[in-house]
Structures are given as C-alpha cells and as structure tokens.
C-alpha cells in the first residue's frame, strides 16, 4: 500500500512544523497570526504536507491561516498526550509524578483527544490524518502512557472522525511493545534519527532504510509513514558528537532521504522546518534547538538553498 491510496492525496513532500520563535514557548507565548502566515508561505514553497504536534493555540492558528489565506498545505494533526504513569527509566530530569498529577494528566489527555476530534471535524478539507500522541511509549520518554490507553484513544478518534488515525513513535517500540497498537491504528508512524544513534553521515541513509524496512516487513498489511527523520546542524557534544553535525551533513541526509522516499513512495516528514530556541537546555549549542532546515530567523540553511551540494 502506498500512501496516496491510504490518504487519497497526491504524493508530495512533508515537514514537521512548529513555529515558536525567540522568547516563545508552548504554554507560555505563541506565534501570532502574521508570524504563522509568514512561516507557511515559506513552507509551501518546499512542502505540500505539514505535521502539527498538539491541539494548542499554535495549531489552531495554523489551521486558521491555511483556511483564511487559501493555502495549499494539508495537515497531519496531532494530540500531545502527557504522562499517565511514571517512568524511572527516563534519563533526564523528568518521568516521575505524583499520583494526583497523573490523575490530572489523564483528564488533560482526554480533553486533548476530544479537541483533536473537534478540529478534525472542523477542518476536514485541511486535516488529512490524525495522531493520538508523540513518543509516549518509548523507554526513555518523560511522558509515558500505557499502550492500552493509547489504543483507547485511537478507537475513540476512529469512532468520531473520518480521517485515518495513527500514533507517532520511535521505530524500535513498533517491533515489539506496540504490536497490539499496530493492529488498531489505520497506519503506522515511525521516527528514525541516525545521528542520535551515533551513526555517521555515511551510515545514515542505510540506517534509516533499515529502520523502515524492519517495521514495514513486520506489518505487511499496514502502511508505514515516517513522521520524523532529520539531521541537526549544531551540538554541544551531549548525546550527539560535535563532528557528526553541520549544515553540509544535514544537506546530504536531506537530499538522500528525499530521493529514497520519492523513489519508494514513502510519505516522510522531515524534522523540522525551523530551529526552535526554546527546546532542550539553556545551552545555545543544545542539539534540540538546531534541527531546522531554516534558522530561527527564517534564513535557509544549505539543505534548502538553491545551489545543489554534491558529495
């Protein structure tokens, strides 16, 4: 099954979009209508499809801009679900919550799923697919949600919205832990990050292909989509060796990823459109801040500049 069959949409390029600029961050301050409009005019020059992570004020502005400005972009809309159980395996400061907080989180998640359904039905011509969560089942997550609860969310959305429903997760849990979930979702969404797993640029594309093939071969009757794949351009050496990231390597991976995904007809959301300075630690060289194909100032990096870079 190729993705155009599943979604009834033309094949095209896709990108993850989150438009938080300097001084903005989720839950605190959000991009304005005009800022989102500026972003989406840049985005639609390169991509046809975007992925949004939550049903917050930012995502609602994005949907409004696409509708009001008659933009051609289509959206995979996500619900961001937070921790419903503790995860002592989380390697950073997070993952452990009081029982009272976990109870509030379950209520918050229920509201988020309801909002996902509402927005899907309000924007049926723009929203082409839905995700009930992001990286909430992998071993290292700080917002761990039991698989059976994710299944409940999938079924609820399927009952009340017409778009295909998925869950976005690292490729590895799909091979074992998420087998029951794979039976329920309309399609499988995987994340693949060679550079986080200490692969060099010369090993990167083969690693991504193998991640995809492993999952696709395990579930031959399900469409598999890549909802995150990218290459950082800066690192402080924490988690990603400094010598493995720069704009040239990002461009090589971006070009090879595009070539392969077009050839094999794999819908692939590149991570991500713009750098986001709010992410990660206060260190300005924190790699989480530097995955954009454009800088936070909306300047193109080598990967999306006109001139082709050759190996």
pLDDT of 309 over the 80 cut: no
- Kind and range of the H or E run holding 117: helix 99-122
Strands 165-170 and 127-134: parallel
C-alpha closest to that of 223 among 276, 277, 264? 264
pLDDT score recorded for residue 3: 84
pLDDT of 310 over the 80 cut: no
pLDDT tens digits, residue range 178-227?
999 999 999 999 999 999 999 999 999 999 999 999 999 999 999 999 99
| Exposed e or buried b per residue across 121-144, where buried means at least 16 C-beta atoms within 10 angstroms of its C-beta | eebeebbbbbbbbbbbbbeebbbb
- Kind and range of the H or E run holding 15: strand 14-16
Are the CB atoms for 234 and 290 separated by under 8 Å? Answer: yes
pLDDT score recorded for residue 2: 75
* Angle, CA 100 vertex, CA 98 and CA 104 arms, to 5°: 115
Residue 311: pLDDT band with limits 50, 70, 90: very low
- Kind and range of the H or E run holding 14: strand 14-16
In which residue are the tokens 């399609």 written?
A: 187
C-alpha closest to that of 76 among 186, 175, 194? 186
pLDDT tens digits, residue range 56-86?
999 999 999 999 999 999 999 999 999 999 9
Instruction: Bin 298: left if φ > 0, else alpha if -120 < ψ < 50, else beta.
Output: left
pLDDT tens digits, residue range 153-167?
999 999 999 999 999
Residue 137: pLDDT band with limits 50, 70, 90: very high
DSSP at 252: H
Residue 93: pLDDT band with limits 50, 70, 90: confident
What distance in Å separates the CA atoms of residue 136 and residue 303, rounded to the nearest whole number? Answer: 30
In which residue are the tokens 């289509």 written?
A: 74
**How many C-beta neighbours within 10 Å does residue 283 have?**
12
* pLDDT (average), residues 170-179: 98
pLDDT of 46 over the 60 cut: yes
pLDDT tens digits, residue range 286-302?
999 999 999 999 999 99
Please state which of the four CATH numbers 3.30.70.940, 3.20.20.80, 3.40.50.920, 3.40.50.261 is assigned to the domain occupying 3-304.
3.20.20.80
* pLDDT (average), residues 105-123: 98
Are the CB atoms for 131 and 79 separated by under 8 Å? Answer: yes
pLDDT of 104 over the 70 cut: yes
pLDDT of 308 over the 70 cut: no
**How many C-beta neighbours within 10 Å does residue 172 have?**
18
Mutual orientation of helices 33-43 and 57-68 as an angle, nearest 10°?
A: 60
What distance in Å separates the CA atoms of residue 83 and residue 45, rounded to the nearest whole number? Answer: 37
Among positive and negative, which fits the CA dihedral 229, 231, 232, 236?
A: positive
pLDDT of 15 over the 70 cut: yes
Residue 235: CB partners within 8 Å, gap ≥ 6? 241, 242, 244, 245, 285, 287, 290
pLDDT score recorded for residue 5: 85
pLDDT of 106 over the 50 cut: yes
Mean pLDDT of the chain: 96
What distance in Å separates the CA atoms of residue 148 and residue 184, rounded to the nearest whole number? Answer: 11
User: Domain ranges in the chain?
Assistant: 3-304
C-alpha closest to that of 190 among 51, 47, 95? 51
């Amino acid at each position: 099954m190729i993705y155009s069959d599943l979604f009834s949409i033309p094949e095209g390029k896709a990108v993850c979009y989150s438009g938080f600029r300097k001084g903005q961050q989720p839950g605190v301050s959000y991009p304005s209508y005009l800022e989102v409009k500026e972003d989406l005019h840049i985005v639609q020059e390169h991509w046809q499809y975007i992925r949004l992570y939550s049903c917050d004020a930012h995502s609602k502005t994005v949907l409004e801009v696409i509708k009001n400005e008659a933009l051609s972009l289509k959206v995979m809309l996500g619900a961001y679900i937070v921790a419903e159980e503790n995860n002592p395996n989380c390697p950073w400061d997070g993952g452990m919550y009081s029982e009272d907080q976990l109870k509030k989180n379950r209520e918050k998640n229920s509201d988020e799923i309801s909002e996902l359904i509402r927005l899907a039905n309000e924007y049926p011509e723009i929203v082409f697919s839905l995700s009930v969560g992001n990286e909430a089942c992998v071993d290292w997550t700080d917002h761990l949600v039991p698989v059976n609860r994710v299944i409940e969310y999938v079924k609820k959305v399927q009952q009340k919205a017409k778009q295909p429903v998925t869950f976005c997760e690292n490729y590895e849990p799909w091979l074992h832990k998420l087998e029951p979930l794979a039976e329920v979702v309309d399609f499988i969404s995987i994340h693949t990050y060679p550079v986080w797993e200490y692969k060099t640029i010369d090993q990167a594309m083969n690693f991504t292909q193998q991640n995809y093939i492993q999952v696709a071969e395990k579930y031959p009757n399900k469409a598999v989509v890549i909802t995150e794949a990218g290459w950082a351009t800066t690192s402080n050496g924490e988690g990603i060796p400094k010598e493995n990231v720069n704009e040239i390597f990002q461009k090589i991976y971006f070009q090879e990823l595009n070539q392969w995904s077009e050839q094999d007809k794999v819908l692939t959301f590149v991570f991500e459109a713009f750098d986001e300075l709010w992410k990660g630690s206060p260190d300005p060289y924190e790699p989480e801040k530097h995955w954009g194909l454009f800088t936070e100032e909306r300047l193109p990096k080598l990967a999306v500049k006109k001139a082709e870079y050759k190996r």
